[in-house]
Amino acid sequence: MSVQFTVQDHVARVTLDRPERLNAIDQATEAELIRIWEAIEHDREVRVVVLTGTGSRAFCTGADMKGGSGSSGLEYWAAPRPGGFGGISLRETLDVPVIARVNGHALGGGLEMVLGCDIVVAAANATFGLPEPRVGRLALDGGIAQLPRRMPHVLAMGMLLTGRRIDAADALRFGLANEVVEADQLDEAVTRWVADILACAPLSVRAIKQMVRAGARLTAAEAQMLRLPALMEALKSSDQDEGVRAFQEKRAPQWRGK
């Protein structure tokens, strides 16, 4: 299989497993990723996802140009691609947080997948870039649309118009990463982020992600007035009572997700 997928203790791990191709994604891999994201959406036991690649060289280097379909840029753009590149770069139906464990190069569609994640933890040797214009293509599956929303305009355009890569330190400085650590500390750092998310009420986390996504194009006042399904579920849950009770009793809450 080109993607490893496991769920344990409320944590889903999605690992691109094509190290010989620098975890580039071909059609079969993308179809499997879409299936996995749909499975996660239907599994209420999953509270956080870790997305990464096998090996130490690459997180994902985008579309597999050697093992691809041979379609033209126009054909690729016109083809339906649920959720954007890798099924995640533009996904709007996944309400659990996704952590990108960036273990190496995140280029082209690989960076687009990172842009589809909520938290980014990168190894110091990681690089980020959208080199599509250097091969006559465009970052149409989330790169052009999302990069200028994540960083200052001139920094985003500097990457988009030149195809230049940036290193992990610049990704942190530009706002593309939450944390950068040495490669041998990457798992430890990701584990900390996972633990912090699991310490929160799962319904609260779902509601937060749904509200941020829905309110992105609204004024702050309009976003505050949103009455979304995940919000109402969280406000009516027994978990909200458990959280207050646990605080009063000076103990860790026992979340039920109900």
* Catalytically annotated residues: 112, 132
Secondary structure (3-state) at 211: helix
Tokens standing for residue 156: 């985003």
Rounded Cα distance, 37 and 65, in Å: 23
75: Cβ–Cβ under 8 A, 6 or more apart, which residues?
none
Longest alpha-carbon distance in the chain? 62
Phi, psi dihedrals of residue 219, rounded to the nearest 5°: -70, 165
The residue among 123, 129, 127 whose CA lies nearest residue 143 is 129
Tokens standing for residue 254: 């026992």
Classify strands 11-16 and 48-53 as parallel, antiparallel or unpaired.
Answer: parallel
